[in-house]
Structure 1
Amino acid sequence: MSEQQQEQRHARRRVSGSYWVETAPGPPPRPALTEDLDVDVAVIGAGVAGLSTAYELTRAGLGVAVLEARRVAQGVTGHTTAKLTALHTLIYDKLRRTRDAQAARLYARSQSEAIERAAELVDELEIDCDWEPRSAYTFVRDASRVEEVRAEADAAREAGLPAKFVTETGLPFPVAGAVRVADQAQFHPRKYLLALTADLLERGGRLYEGTLVRGLTEGEPCRVTTQTGATVRARHVVVATHYPVFDRALLFARLSPRRELVVAGPVDTGQDPEGMYITPEENTRSVRTAPYGEDGQRLLIVTGEHFTPGTGDTPARFDHLSAWAREHFPGVDLTLSWATQDIDPTDTVPMVGPLHPGARNTYVATGFGGWGLSGGMMAGRLLTALITGRDCPWQELYDPRRLRTAVRQAPTFLKTQAEVARHFVGDRLRPAPPVESVPPGEGAVVRAGTDRLAVYRDEAGTLHPLSARCTHLGCLVAFNSAERAWECPCHGSRFGIDGEVLQGPATRPLERREL
């Protein structure tokens, strides 16, 4: 490989960082928790679900502490495409078929009220977060799928959304059909959540960053232990870590991780499709724009190419997504790229409520399936109702303890578990390359005697050997060269090149090894 080819390869594989994080860096880090603490509620995780829950609980008069392993809203929430809508691709017809029309109505109402609550807070707190009303579209280009879209439009309208079937959109290419729902919104999620955090702190809420939670003992009170050695005693605990770091109801078996790529770049206002779009075709394509710069340009944001973490060629997927964006939006200079991670439940609906069948004081919010903004805001309202003893019309819909719908979705459940088993066993049987074959800037799982090591070679040629066993449940990790991270294909844990935890459910780093 020539020097120029190597430079091109290294240039294309590196992500540049999330637009939301880069344009809203926020205040300096909050101190980690170093002393024991007593509160009414401990919320684990400071993404949209955790912060929305903490904020609503604080306004309800409870003493709340938020424990965040890294930084506020810099994880999954900081890497979203930031569409705030109740139109979640093709969910309403599926809910109507697999549950009933009432479930679809409750889903639509719960998501819509979450969006209305966000709009209220933007006005009340005067949050400058690029809030823009937009219509949301689910479209298809394949004529054979038009009936799916018609059915979705009917089901969404029956569920209470202002949904219409249309054949004309603002996209620069024809569609065979689309569902359109008006009066939805798009915004800057970090600006919104940083403002919410500031008001939370003013109201007496507490926030600790750099505080990784490692243990939970249920009781009265519950005890949450951290890697700093400090313990939080709380009457209630909410686990809002995207993928739960504690599994006491076989949640791991009912969730599957999905990674998705994002490319973005400025376009002229004439190229703005003036809406929020998504299609299940072509391995998912999502399109929206955001305000950009001072010369009237817009930032085009294109998402897609979803895949299981730790599988396949991520740089090639970025290339494929970029080519699609340039084909349909000629002249766009894709200056930004990042990735996000979603958690799909086997039965379509997020899991928000008691952590397990015997839980009295512990709760979870997970499985938002790519719609974590409205879902996380909904979770904040639902969990606040449960903790404060109020009824919520949709608490049964989202209850993680549901079994009837889980049984109905048994084929999806079994497929998910078969995939996990395939990786757990099959990845150990694959031939492993010699460590000498790992080039600078790359990583690979190599064999060292009877062990498997995850080895990264930096640009200077120094090797960084780690155990290849994920510290969650022992699957072998794989290297993502675009993001320079080790990823577990079983449950989505992610680690840095030196083994540090980037994303759970793992709570402990990969063990360091010697070659």
Structure 2
Amino acid sequence: MTQNVQVSDSYWLQTAPGGAPRPALAEDLDVDVAVIGAGVAGLSAAWELTRAGRSVAVLEAGRVAAGVTGYTSAKLTVLHTLVYDRLRRTRGPEGARLYARSQSEAIEHAAGIVAELGIDCDWETRDAYTYVRDPGGVDELRAEAAAAEEAGLPASFVTETGLPFPVAGAVKVTGQAQFHPVKYLLALAADLEARGGRIFEGTTVQGLDEGEPCRVRTEAGATVTARDVVVATHYPIFDRALLFARLSPRRELVVAGTVEADRDVDGMYITPEENTRSVRTAPLADAGRRLLVVTGEHFTPGTGDTRERFARLAAWADEHFPGVERTHAWA
């Protein structure tokens, strides 16, 4: 990878099956539930509701899965860097167990949907690792591994990984997953529509009246009347709880390129060191190669030079995975 980073669309959006845009909502509509936002949260909720027999309308300002979900690193894991030891200390062992159970059941449920619908979304079972290279972080990882195991997860402390460089230690959790999020959501959307649900793209919501029933108003002047409304936008567009005062935007950068299949890192990795570094691979049509996905450089949008951050991330990838031909870079 060279450090002259040319930003592209995400790999997930570029390689998802195409299709004509769905029409915008042009007239008033009555449904049981209106869902605002067609990312992984909104479409998952809408699919479950449609499956339960509710009439559902999904309103999306852009296109399905083309927001935050289309730019994710696409890992499904209960291991979120360092969380279980902190939960055990602040919420008690039962709090940590409940968190672990909720995350595990979510992954199992997604795997069940993939199997039920026969979704071709590059689903792979992989082990997840949180690692450190600094020996000073080992005690914290040992505590994290013990807390995660106590919470009921298949977790352990290890010193060997599939990374091409040594680590001082890592928390390993087996049986996690990675997938192609846009292929997954497009299949979910198609099944939702086959069950009678409706999806409207290019439909910006501007107002919500929380009555009985609720009324959702769009920029084009249409009104959706619904008993219930699910707001599944990345940022809460109706800020009844003044969340804007507590929310802080965060962005991370991604560089990706092809690597020989025998150089696969055989897992999903993240470290809190070096301003975060996350590594995974994804399958490619060429069975002899895989896509290496490197994420990091988290920052608050509007602070610092994004080009410099991309250059640092690309340089890190160059150093640790020499010879990889970069094909994508996104935020």
Cα distance between partner residues in 2 of 1:279 and 1:193: 28
Kindly indicate whether residue 131 of structure 2 is the aligned counterpart of residue 139 of structure 1: yes
Distance 1:295 1:134, change over 3 A: closer
1:260 counterpart residue number? 252
Q: Which of 150, 157, 174 is the matching residue for 1:165?
A: 157
Shift of 1:295: 4.4
Larger Rg over CA atoms: 1
Q: Which of 304, 310, 315 is the matching residue for 2:307?
A: 315
Contact 1:221-1:234 at 8 Å conserved across structures: yes
Shift of 1:14: 3.9
Alignment of 1:35-434 (within 5 A): 35-339=27-331
Cα distance between partner residues in 2 of 1:88 and 1:103: 15
1:162-198: CA deviations, max 9, x gaps?
A: 0000010000011111000001011111111100110
SS in 2 for 1:311: coil
Contact 2:5-2:314 at 8 Å conserved across structures: no
TM normalised by structure 2 equals: 0.97
SS in 1 for 2:14: helix
1:225-250: CA deviations, max 9, x gaps?
A: 11111111111111110111111112
TM normalised by structure 1 equals: 0.63
Task: Please say which of residues 251-260 and 222-231 is displaced more in the overlay.
Answer: 251-260
SS in 2 for 1:182: strand
Task: Please say which of residues 92-101 and 271-280 is displaced more in the overlay.
Answer: 92-101
Shift of 1:257: 1.0
1:192-215: CA deviations, max 9, x gaps?
A: 110011000000111000001111
Q: CA RMSD in A?
A: 1.1
Cα distance between partner residues in 1 of 2:31 and 2:228: 9
Shift of 1:251: 1.7
1:277-315: CA deviations, max 9, x gaps?
A: 000110000000001232410100000001001111001
Contact 1:136-1:184 at 8 Å conserved across structures: yes
Q: Percent identity?
A: 75
Unpaired segments ≥5 residues, structure 2: none
SS in 2 for 1:337: strand
Cα distance between partner residues in 2 of 1:28 and 1:91: 42
Shift of 1:254: 2.5
Shift of 1:69: 0.5
Kindly indicate whether residue 2 of structure 2 is the aligned counterpart of residue 26 of structure 1: no
- Structure 1 consecutive aligned stretches of length 4 or more whose deviation exceeds 2 Å: 11-14
Shift of 1:95: 1.2
Contact 2:5-2:329 at 8 Å conserved across structures: no
Greater RCO between the two (CA within 8 Å, min separation 6)?
Answer: 2
SS in 2 for 1:100: helix
1:289-348: CA deviations, max 9, x gaps?
A: 001232410100000001001111001100000000010001011121001xxxxxxxxx
Shift of 1:270: 2.1
Cα distance between partner residues in 2 of 1:88 and 1:184: 12
Shift of 1:103: 1.5
Shift of 1:100: 1.8
Question: Which amino acid letter does the alignment assign opposite residue 302 of structure 1?
Answer: V
Question: Which amino acid letter does the alignment assign opposite residue 254 of structure 2?
Answer: V
Unpaired segments ≥5 residues, structure 1: 1-10, 340-515
1:408-464: CA deviations, max 9, x gaps?
A: xxxxxxxxxxxxxxxxxxxxxxxxxxxxxxxxxxxxxxxxxxxxxxxxxxxxxxxxx
Shift of 1:26: 3.0
Contact 1:26-1:194 at 8 Å conserved across structures: no
Cα distance between partner residues in 2 of 1:23 and 1:295: 16
Question: Which amino acid letter does the alignment assign opposite residue 124 of structure 1?
Answer: E
Question: Which amino acid letter does the alignment assign opposite residue 266 of structure 2?
Answer: E
SS in 2 for 1:255: coil
Cα distance between partner residues in 1 of 2:229 and 2:8: 35
Cα distance between partner residues in 1 of 2:294 and 2:327: 12
